[in-house]
Amino acid sequence: MPVGMTTLQLLFLIVFVLLLQLICGIGVSVWRWRNSLSADAPSTPANASSPAWPYWRNFRITRRAFEDDARTQCSFYFEPVDGAPLPPFKPGQFLTFSAPGGPSPLIGDGGLSGPITRCYSLSSRPDPANYRVTIKRAAAPAAFPNAPPGICSSYFHDRVQVGDIIKVKAPAGQFFLDADPSRATVLVAGGIGITPMLSMLLWAFAEQPDRTLHLFYGVQNGAVYAFRTTLEELAQSHPNFRLHVLYDTPSPSDGEGLHVSVGRVDIDLLKRTLPDGVAHTFYVCGPPAMMESIVPALRAWGIPTSDIRTEAFGPASLRPSVSAPEAGPFDVRFRRAGRSIIWNGQDASLLDFAERNGVEVDSGCRSGSCGTCEANIVSGSVRETQKPDYEVRDGHCLLCVSVPTSALVLEA
Ligand SMILES: Cc1cc2nc3c(=O)[nH]c(=O)nc-3n(C[C@H](O)[C@H](O)[C@H](O)COP(=O)(O)OP(=O)(O)OC[C@H]3O[C@@H](n4cnc5c(N)ncnc54)[C@H](O)[C@@H]3O)c2cc1C
C-alpha cells in the first residue's frame, strides 16, 4: 500500500482506475463501430473499376473562383469533412455529385423532383487534401430560349458557397491520360471540355516534365477562354507543350496572339499542325458538333480506334454508332413502380422508355458514366447500346445505355 494511504482511499483509487479503463474502452469501441459503418472512409486508390469509397461522401467547399472573364465557368475546391486523405485519381476522371432537384413534369403543379445526379471532371491534378471541379453555367439552348436553365450547374453557380457541404461519389471513368510518356499526345478540347485536359496537363508536367503534349482548345471568344493564365504559364515553362487556342467567333477586342488564332479545331488544322510520321494518341472532349466532326475524321485519317479516346459530357454529345434498337414487342415490368409496359423499339434506351411512360427512375449522366440508373434484372435480357464507363454489377444493367432483347422484369 502506498505510504500515507488508507484502505478506503486505495479502494477508491482502484475503482477510479477501473472506471477510467471502462470509459476509454467504450470510447474506442464506439469509434471503431462508427468507422466500420461509415461509407465515407477511403479504402483503395481510385482505379477504373472499383470506387475508392462507396456511395456518397461529404465534402466542404473551401474556395470558388471564376476561370473566365465572362464568369460562366466557376471552379469549386472542396475537402473531405472526415479529414481523411483523398485517394489519388487518374487525370481525366470525373466525380459524381448530388444536388437538389428541379421542376419535374412527372410530379406536376411545379413540384420538384428528388435529388439529381450529375458528373463533373476533376480539373486539378491529384492532391491528397482537396479536389477541384470547374462547372459551366448551362443556359437555355439557343433553339429553346424559353427552356429553364440547367438545374445542377445553376445550383452550383447561384447557391453553393464556401463552407457548404456537398455530397460526392468517388473518382471514376475510363477517360484518363495514358501514363506512358513516350506516346505523343494530342488533347482536343471544346469549351468546358477543357476540364479533363487541364487535369492531364497538370499531372503530366508535374510527373513527366519532358513529355510532348499538344492542346487544341476551341472556344467562342476571349471572354470564355478558361484557365488562360495557367495554360500560358505551362506553355512558357514547358518547351514540349504546344498550345493552340482557336476563337470561332472572336469579339472585336480579341486579337490573335502567341498561342491564339481565329478558326475552328478541325481535322485540317490537326493535319496541318501535327508532325508527320509520329504516332499520336488523341483525347477528345467537347460539344456535340465538334465531337461528331472530329472523331469520324480522325478515323478516316487512319488513326486506330484504340488511339482515339473520347469523353461525352452528356447524352447527346456523342451518339454511339449502334444498330437499330430491338423492335420487340417485349413486356417490360418495372417491379418497384408496379408498371408493365410494352417495348416496341420506339426508344433509344430503357431510361427514355421509362420516362416517356411516366415511370420515375433515378438517372444522372444519361451516358453510362455515373451508375445512378443501375437496375437489377430480375428476369430477361438486355443489350448495351454503348460500353459504359461505370462497372455494372452482375445481373444488373444501366437503364440509360440498355435496350431489352426479351421480356424483362426490372427491380426499378
Ligand atoms: C463524365 C462527365 C463529365 C462532365 N464534366 C463536366 C465538367 O467538368 N464541367 C461542366 O460544366 N460539365 C461537365 N459535365 C456535364 C454536367 O454533368 C451536366 O450535364 C451539365 O452541368 C448540365 O447539367 P444541368 O443540371 O446544369 O443541366 P440540365 O438541367 O440537365 O439541363 C441541360 C440543358 O437542357 C436545357 N433544358 C432544360 N429543359 C429543357 C427543355 N424542356 N427543352 C429544351 N432544353 C431544356 C437546359 O437549359 C440546359 O441547357 C460532365 C458530364 C459528364 C457525363
pLDDT digits (tens, 9 = 90+) for 139-191: 998 888 998 899 899 999 999 999 999 999 899 888 999 998 888 899 999 99
- Answer yes or no: is pLDDT of 24 > 50: no
Q: How many CB atoms lie within 10 A of CB 331?
A: 15
Copy the grid coordinates of residue 349: 434506351
Q: Whose CA is nearest to atom 39 of ligand 1?
A: 147
| Segments of the chain assigned to CATH 2.40.30.10 | 57-140+148-172
Q: How many CB atoms lie within 10 A of CB 84?
A: 15
Please give the average per-residue pLDDT across 302-317, as a whole number.
Answer: 80
Q: What is the pLDDT of residue 276?
A: 82
410: enclosing H helix or E strand: strand 408-411
pLDDT tens per residue, range 248-272: 999 988 877 789 999 999 999 999 9
| Cα 292-119-123 angle, rounded to 5 deg | 85
- Answer yes or no: is pLDDT of 192 > 60: yes
232: enclosing H helix or E strand: helix 228-237
CB 64 within 8 A of CB 75: yes
57-140+148-172: CATH topology is Elongation Factor Tu (Ef-tu); domain 3 (2.40.30)
Of 4-18, 74-88, 91-105, 195-209, the poorest mean pLDDT is in: 4-18
Residue 390 pLDDT class (50, 70, 90 cuts): confident
- Answer yes or no: is pLDDT of 233 > 80: yes
Mutate to test the pocket of ligand 1, among 121, 132, 291, 351 (most ligand atoms within 8 A of CB): 121
**Ligand 1 centroid – CA 108 distance (Å):** 22
Q: Whose CA is nearest to atom 10 of ligand 1?
A: 135
Percent of the chain with pLDDT over 70: 82
- CATH 3.30.1490.20 at 330-411, yes or no: no
Q: What is the pLDDT of residue 111?
A: 56
Please give the average per-residue pLDDT across 216-243, as a whole number.
Answer: 96
CATH number (3.30.70.3040, 3.30.360.10, 3.40.50.2300, 3.40.50.80) of 184-310 reads: 3.40.50.80
Percent of the chain with pLDDT over 90: 58
For residue 143, give the ligand 1 atom closest to its CA. 43
Long-range CB pairs of 104-110, under 8 A, 24+ apart, other chains included? 106/355, 106/358, 106/360
Q: Whose CA is nearest to atom 19 of ligand 1?
A: 314
CB 402 within 8 A of CB 353: no
Q: What is the pLDDT of residue 172?
A: 86
CB 75 within 8 A of CB 133: yes
Q: What is the pLDDT of residue 29?
A: 32
Q: Which residues pair with 148 in a beta bridge?
A: none
Q: Whose CA is nearest to atom 34 of ligand 1?
A: 150
Mutate to test the pocket of ligand 1, among 66, 124, 152 (most ligand atoms within 8 A of CB): 152
pTM to 2 decimal places: 0.80
- Answer yes or no: is pLDDT of 108 > 60: no
| Segments of the chain assigned to CATH 3.10.20.30 | 330-411
- Answer yes or no: is pLDDT of 38 > 70: no
19: enclosing H helix or E strand: helix 7-37
Strand ranges across the sheet with 408-411 = 339-343, 330-334, 408-411, 374-379, 396-398
| Segments of the chain assigned to CATH 3.40.50.80 | 184-310
7: enclosing H helix or E strand: helix 7-37
- The pLDDT mean for the chain works out to 84
More confident residue, 373 or 9: 373
pLDDT tens per residue, range 310-368: 988 865 334 444 455 678 899 999 999 999 999 999 888 999 899 889 888 877 778 88
For residue 196, give the ligand 1 atom closest to its CA. 8
Q: Whose CA is nearest to atom 30 of ligand 1?
A: 150
Ligand 1 contacts (CB < 6 A) are 94, 118-121, 133-136, 138, 140-141, 144, 147-153, 173, 192, 195, 311, 313-314, 365, 367, 369
- Answer yes or no: is pLDDT of 387 > 90: no
